[in-house]
Amino acid sequence: MSARWWLLVGATASGWVALALAAIGGAGESWWAVAAGAVSLGAWNRRLSWLSVAVPVGVVLLLLYSGSVVAGAACGLLVLFHVVLVDLAEDSYGASADGAVRALRPLVPGLAAAVVAAVAGGLSVVWARGVDAVTPVVVAAPLVLLVAAMVALGSETRREFWLWLSRR
């Protein structure tokens, strides 16, 4: 499988998880999630990659009338991943996995800041409202998994990656 294939699989997965999360946590009609997810598959076509905008629009519509703050932050993070991976996939025709990882490296600080902000913001609001302890754990689990995936992605490459990260 090419690097582009893996990037698009990651983009699709993160987009669909975001839509599912918004459909569960929000008060909108669930079929919006299905429709937006189906339309976002256009990103697999090189000329139709702009259709990936269906994911953020679908999530916003699902979260428009209700939904928890934590679910909103988690959806925002997943949509961010979706947008980044689609953008990387656009330029990765014929590129090796190593080339895709190299292109991903400069984005790590921004992604890390987004993850930290989403987790910290979401959890603080939840705890401030006095919600039971199970909900934040359930919501935070995918975010932790995403951070772990990023770490695994970095460790697969060379040791210079960590040196480079430390220099920044």
Partner 1 sequence: MAAGLSPRATGVRGGGPDGRRTTTTATPTWRPSPLTRRLMTMVVLGIGLGVVSQNPTLVAFALPGLLAMAVWLRGRRPERVELTVELDTPRTFEHEARRLAVRSTATPHGGAVHLILRPESPVHVTGDRVGVSPLPEARAHWRLAPTLWGYWSTGTVIARTRSATRAWVSETSLEGPRLTVYPPASATADAPPPPHLRRRLGPHVSRAPGAGVEFAGTREYLPGDSVRRVNWAQSSRADRWMVNEFAQERMADVVVLIDSVRDVGPVGQTTVDRSVRGATNVVRSYLSVADRVGVVAFGSALRWLTPTTGNRHFYRVVETLLQARQARTYVDPSLDRLPLAVLPTGALVVCFSPMLDDLVVEAIRDLRERAHPVVVVDVLTLDERPAPRDELAVRLWRLERQALSASLRRIGIRVVPYADTVHGTLGWLASVRSAGGRP
In the complex, least distance from residue 4 CB atom to partner 1, rounded to whole angstroms: 10
> C-alpha dihedral over 141, 72, 29, 66, to 10 degrees?
120
CA distance 43 to 53: 9
Residue 2 or 13 having the CB closest to partner 1: 2
Residue 98: closest CA among 6, 34, 27:
6
Residue 13 or 108 having the CB closest to partner 1: 108
Residue 106 or 156 having the CB closest to partner 1: 106
Interacting residues with partner 1 (CB under 8 A): 26, 50, 52-53, 56-57, 59-60, 63-73, 75-77, 79-80, 83-84, 87-88, 90-95, 99, 102-103, 106-107, 109-111, 113-115, 117-118, 121-122, 125
Residue 90: closest CA among 100, 102, 79, 75:
100
Residue 27 or 137 having the CB closest to partner 1: 27
The answer to whether 136 and 105 are in contact (CB under 8 A) is: no
Residue 154 CB neighbour total at 10 angstroms: 17
Residue 142: closest CA among 9, 13, 37:
13
In the complex, least distance from residue 31 CB atom to partner 1, rounded to whole angstroms: 20
In the complex, least distance from residue 111 CB atom to partner 1, rounded to whole angstroms: 6
Residue 9 or 57 having the CB closest to partner 1: 57
